Amino acid sequence: MRNTYWFTIALLSIITLKANAQQATANIPAELQQLTKQAIGYFPKLKEGQENLLIGDAKVRLSQSGYLPTAYAGFTYNYINPIGEAKFGIPGAEKTIQFVPHNNFNTAINLSQNIYDFGRTKGAVDKAKAEQQQIKDNVTANENNIAYQVANIYYHIIFLNKNIVVIQQQLKLAQDNLKLVESKIKNGDALEYDRLSSDVRVKTAENKIVDAKSQLKKQLNLLNYLTGGAAAIADTTLFTMDAITGTEEAYKSAATLSSDIVLAKDKMMYNQADLKATNKGLLPYLTFNGSVGFKNGYQPDINQWRFNYAVGGGLTIPIYDGGRTLTQRKIARLNIEAARQNVLYAEGTLKKDIEQIMADISSNKEKLGNSAALVKQATLALNLAQSRYKNGVLTILELQNSESSLQDAQLAQIQINYQLALNYLELSRLGGVRFW
């Protein structure tokens, strides 16, 4: 009954995590998902990780070969002199008998099989598998890092594109104002100072566009570096991820899926497997040995090659190894404790980071509501200022201040949207969400 209870809890947890991940993925633009897959398939550093996986597989197979027999063929030749001999018979009719020949030949196939080693081989296999799991999770962590780098660049590009649109709108307003001022100067209703001031605003807006486009080009170059060549970003939607709604929910998901915690636990598991393998170092092991072949040296014709075979077994009991095994045990135990502390540190850091991100999300959501009201008010104020300036009630400086207020409000709104997107993106990264 107790086992059924825990199985049900584990199953519900898995279903909840999968549902969160699916909902989160649904909020990601298809364009970003495609770019991420492209980067993971292209980036050379990730291909290095795939090679390391193959090395890990080979190490596991190498450890498992301890269960298999070893066989080798050999051929030996020895010339012996003097050799043992004796004379038999009556004097004058003596016969010399050699006990071994001068030329000794031996060909054989030798076999050795581990019969029982008290867990030595199993310990080595478990250690190799723990190392392989580390490699796998490290590859996954590297894929996550690349994916979230691509996502950050993607949303930075969208942010810059939106900024450029706002600045271009302000440039058009500044250019229209300049034309209006020049018209007023001809009619004697404006001063040369007003024209210079308007011209400065035009040039300032043009320089802002140049700077924004330069930053945009750098981000596109970085995206191309990660993906091997990406087209221009078409999507301009800043995403939100509402699958995880609170600190506790976020932490529960992250505690299972976060790359930092997974890798920290992998390291502890590897050190534990290392300790178990080390503990087997002073245990005995039993082997079977056999050989079959042809050799000379058998009586009565010591030069004739004859078929022979030998079978046997051996028990090896380690007694003293200079303290190496004891020292290795001590090191392994220290490594386990260090890894355990690293897990606790990763869990504490994760919880702290999630709490900070959730606070930022709450703050930015509140600011987003205020920024929408500011943009609306600034737009109404600018429309009123433009009307009053045309009627000669406002100065050009007051009109320009209204334009600046609207631009600042619009850019602030874009900035808050961007920061909120980054907040959700970071929450997803901490939670180990694979959105691609």
pLDDT tens for 139-158 read: 999 999 999 999 999 999 99
Residue with the bigger pLDDT between 94 and 20: it is 94
Residue 40 maps to a domain: yes
Residue 77 maps to a domain: yes
Average pLDDT over the chain, rounded to an integer:
84
What average pLDDT does the segment 71-83 reach?
A: 92
Res. 342: pLDDT tops 80: yes
* Pick from 238, 166, 240, 258: nearest CA to 208: 166
DSSP letters for 260-303? HHHHHHHHHHHHHHHHHHHHGGGS-EEEEEEEEEEE---SS-TT
Both 302 and 398 in one domain: the answer is no
Sign of the Cα torsion 136, 139, 144, 147 reads: negative
SS3 80: coil
Both 237 and 344 in one domain: the answer is yes
Res. 2: pLDDT tops 50: no
Range in 121-130, 231-240, 425-434 the model is least confident about = 231-240
SS3 110: strand
What average pLDDT does the segment 381-401 reach?
A: 84
Residue 144 maps to a domain: yes
Both 222 and 257 in one domain: the answer is yes
Residue span of the structural domain in which 109 resides: 71-116+290-317
Boundary residue ending a domain (317, 334, 364): 317
What average pLDDT does the segment 311-320 reach?
A: 90
What average pLDDT does the segment 282-307 reach?
A: 91
* Pick from 73, 98, 75: nearest CA to 87: 98
Both 99 and 138 in one domain: the answer is no
Both 100 and 221 in one domain: the answer is no
CA separation for the pair 6, 346 (Å, rounded): 26
Residue 10 maps to a domain: no
Boundary residue ending a domain (317, 332, 360): 317
Beta strand pairing status for 95-98 and 85-88? antiparallel
- CA dist list (Å): 228 to 30, 90, 142, 161: 18, 98, 17, 22
Residue 348 maps to a domain: yes
Q: pLDDT band at 18, cuts 50/70/90?
A: very low
Res. 356: pLDDT tops 70: yes
pLDDT at 247: 66
Number of domains in the chain: 2
What average pLDDT does the segment 105-130 reach?
A: 93
Q: pLDDT band at 97, cuts 50/70/90?
A: confident
Both 96 and 42 in one domain: the answer is no
Residue 99 maps to a domain: yes
Both 236 and 94 in one domain: the answer is no
Sign of the Cα torsion 419, 345, 128, 18 reads: negative
Both 313 and 381 in one domain: the answer is no
Res. 16: pLDDT tops 70: no
Range in 6-10, 90-94, 272-276, 368-372 the model is least confident about = 6-10
Res. 306: pLDDT tops 90: yes
Q: DSSP class of residue 78? A: E
Both 136 and 261 in one domain: the answer is yes
Residue 435 maps to a domain: no
* Pick from 182, 167, 176, 142: nearest CA to 51: 142
Highest-pLDDT range among 295-304, 326-335, 423-432: 326-335
Residue 4 maps to a domain: no
What CATH number is attached to the domain comprising 234? 1.20.1600.10
Residue burial 377-398, b: 16+ Cβ < 10 Å; e: rest: ebeebbeebbeebeeeebebee
Both 187 and 229 in one domain: the answer is yes
Of all helices (H) and strands (E), which one includes residue 220?
helix 192-227
Beta bridge partners of 85: 98
Both 279 and 191 in one domain: the answer is yes
Res. 88: pLDDT tops 60: yes
Highest-pLDDT range among 101-110, 193-202, 296-305: 101-110
251, amino acid identity: Y
Both 149 and 186 in one domain: the answer is yes
